[in-house]
Structure 1
């Protein structure tokens, strides 16, 4: 009965739930926003149009937002809250203590008042776009990083921050965030640890025109990161070339024999020049060594023959020296025996003892006394 009566009177009963708000239009004009409850609204010729909005989706998405603020500002301000940023602003919007959205520069958000409570924190990025550490941690935990450029600097490294191509800051180990404000943000990582670098298999020509291959090694670390990164485009390539050119220059002034004899001193002298050159670029180089000198196959065979001949000559000298010493020793022994008959007798008995050790059975016919007399006779004869 009530439904029929309302129809005759051109009205419509609209029920709004607690979690809803209704935006009503009659004959194309906004009537207002209606809260929970039962409402009788005009509906002649079915000219009533209603839009239901669930407060669980707080952002206002109505096409009539601007019209409502213009025609019924009191109604709009009662039900809606507007957040808007300027060209140098970033705003964090919180709903019931939780980050709801982050607005970048020149952005706007309209939400339902009753879906709050709402709070905002505004950041002025005109003088710096770095996100404060406590907010960065919170945004990271709540996964609200759409307006943040996140940079991670690993342990034992430093990050060089470039904004619009200009170096502005050194970033230490950890997590860093910067607001997306339309500027180009980039960074380079530089390792602060001591690292090895090798120059392997470099062909070089000696003073006596022998082509050799050398292996060079060194350690480096950055003592002035900004200078090392900004002065040259690739500091590792610079170190490599410095080692290569320095050793090529010094080895070219030496013969092969000099290089093989003075391998350690080459590393010391050349290394000192390299250290001074690279220190001006903010790079410390140490442990510079000429590790290997690799000869061509035919040169290696010739060198082996030379070494073998030298060793053979040294062996002959040693043999001659020992033979001379042995002869001199025999001569001295003979002189001693000639001057001392007792010594001669002792040597004879010693010789007899050695002979007896090698004979299994020795038969003496005329006694030990006769044997000794015979020995004496033999010498006398």
Structure 2
């Protein structure tokens, strides 16, 4: 009976009962003006000329077309239920709920949260002082799926990163992962390999002093010692090294004949290295070694050189042969002189000759005895 009477009273007064749960809130406008912002429980709200918006605080943010008008005309209603967060022109705000990041606000942004969905805290960062983000905070933002707010630079081991803000070199980044806010200064990083490396200059055509066109392969062993100077003194330090190696060898080789080049290859390496080291040190590069690795000759020149080498080797072989023949003749002459002065020695040589002949035939007939063996004719029979 009481409920029926209550409903009749509400109908006569033009109101109706609305029940909200703990996670619901209701914004009520009567005759186009803000009337109330209701929390959990039972409420009587006008039936006619009334606009009602039911919100869930589980969504954390207060999203409505009446947002700014509410704060402007009824700040008293907003104060008890809503938390407004604003950022300045050079400011980043990280909104945390129960200590966990839930949103990142970029400069000059605004967001409204349901106070009862909190507690909320706000960490603010000044972009003008440093756009860098602490590694621990960057990991927390990644875990909260807020990594879009960051720009990440990864520097591999053995490298350094030359950090630029809006094109201006700021500092050196060591190996590791470095994070920056995605807004503010434009962040770029150029990676520089600090390890010792070999730079190859292959297939360079050079005209020697005697007008022979050759191709050479060059190599330079180098290491970057001053990355700041290497990236600021020249646009591309590896290309600068490449050109410098080309030019210095072109000058050195062009001043030599082909024969001089082949004979003084090692000396050219030393001269070129001494010339280049001072030049490369000026752009932050330590040149450890430089070498003329290969000299590739045209086909016809290679054939001519092969014939020259072959002739030289044949001449050397003939000289050796003649020398050995001379030595043999000298030895025979000495033997003959010894036998002439020593009959016993002559007899021994005769017997050696007889032994050698006898070893190769079945029958041996000797006339006039063995005394005249070396003076008479020996007739051999099978």
Q: For residue 269 of structure 2, what is the aligned residue in structure 1?
A: 267
Q: For residue 40 of structure 2, what is the aligned residue in structure 1?
A: 36
- Partner of residue 24 from structure 1, selected from 28, 31, 43: 28
Structure 2 gap ranges (5+): 377-382
Whether 1:294 aligns to 2:296 is: yes
Structure 1 residue 67, shift from structure 2 partner: 2.5
Q: For residue 109 of structure 1, what is the aligned residue in structure 2?
A: 111
- Partner of residue 76 from structure 1, selected from 62, 75, 78: 78
Question: Equivalent residue of 1:56, what SS?
Answer: helix
CA distance in 1, matches of 2:142, 2:368: 117
Q: For residue 379 of structure 2, what is the aligned residue in structure 1?
A: none
Normalization by structure 1: what TM-score? 0.92
CA distance in 2, matches of 1:378, 1:220: 82
- Partner of residue 369 from structure 2, selected from 360, 364, 374: 374
1:1-381 alignment runs, 5 A limit: 1=4, 2-43=6-47, 46-359=48-361, 361-362=362-363, 374-378=369-373
Question: Equivalent residue of 1:221, what SS?
Answer: strand
Structure 1 residue 80, shift from structure 2 partner: 0.4
CA distance in 2, matches of 1:135, 1:18: 33
Q: 1:325 to 1:380 in 2, by over 3 A?
A: closer
Q: 1:348 to 1:221 in 2, by over 3 A?
A: same
Question: Equivalent residue of 1:146, what SS?
Answer: helix
Structure 1 residue 310, shift from structure 2 partner: 1.8
Normalization by structure 2: what TM-score? 0.92
CA distance in 1, matches of 2:145, 2:357: 104
CA distance in 1, matches of 2:338, 2:252: 63
Deviations 1:234-253 (A, max 9, x none): 11111111110000001111
Q: 1:35 to 1:379 in 2, by over 3 A?
A: closer
- 2:156, 2:176 within 8 Å by CA — same for their partners in 1? yes
Question: Equivalent residue of 2:148, what SS?
Answer: coil
CA distance in 2, matches of 1:253, 1:47: 101
- 2:277, 2:286 within 8 Å by CA — same for their partners in 1? yes
Structure 1 residue 338, shift from structure 2 partner: 1.4
Q: 1:374 to 1:128 in 2, by over 3 A?
A: same
Q: For residue 367 of structure 1, what is the aligned residue in structure 2?
A: none
CA distance in 2, matches of 1:280, 1:250: 22
Q: 1:356 to 1:5 in 2, by over 3 A?
A: farther
Structure 1 residue 4, shift from structure 2 partner: 4.8
Q: 1:305 to 1:214 in 2, by over 3 A?
A: same
- Compare 309-318 and 154-163 and name the one that shifted more: 309-318
Question: Equivalent residue of 2:205, what SS?
Answer: strand
Structure 1 residue 5, shift from structure 2 partner: 4.2
RMSD value, Cα:
1.9
CA distance in 1, matches of 2:124, 2:118: 18
Structure 1 residue 88, shift from structure 2 partner: 2.6
CA distance in 2, matches of 1:294, 1:320: 37
Question: Equivalent residue of 1:169, what SS?
Answer: strand
CA distance in 1, matches of 2:367, 2:225: 93
CA distance in 1, matches of 2:177, 2:374: 106
Structure 1 residue 147, shift from structure 2 partner: 2.4
- Compare 293-302 and 371-380 and name the one that shifted more: 371-380
